[in-house]
Amino acid sequence: MRYLNTRIWMLIVGALSTLGALVNIITAETVAVDAWGNLAGRELDIAVGLEQLWGLWFITSGVAILLLALLTHGISQARTGAVVIGLTFVGQVLAFSTLGSKGYLEESGAPIEQILPFAAIYLIGFIACVKGWNEKTK
């Protein structure tokens, strides 16, 4: 269980979230075209704005996880980490599901090779936090 250090996994999840969000913001137009198909004019502007907004939301989650990793300890770190990581993951699943019903990634399909590593790291981070939920501090 020493591999499931709460702080380290929270730092990994927070850094990955922040970095992934920055990439999404920087490449928003490419992501929008890949996700929605050929768009032009106002439709493209809205799709790009949606990708940028998604990235900004994910940056706030990533930074929150990083700050919680640095500013909390013990049980409070594990509990807040589990809640924030869990809610962020659920939020991403709901966002993909909601947009998927509107045609998001309909033509290109979900990029599983990009989603699976993020999901795995989030799951490990969540498990690391849940593991410490009731641990006694030494």
pLDDT of residue 114: 79
- Give the residue-averaged pLDDT of 54-59: 92
Residue 97 — pLDDT band, cuts 50, 70, 90?
A: confident
| Gap between the Cα atoms of 126 and 120, Å rounded | 10
Quote the pTM value.
0.86
Residue 72 has pLDDT above 80, yes or no: yes
Q: Which residues contact 126 (CB under 8 A, 6 or more apart)?
A: 82, 85, 86, 89
pLDDT of residue 6: 92
Give the tens place of pLDDT for each residue, 104-113: 877 776 778 8
Domain extent listing, the chain = 6-131
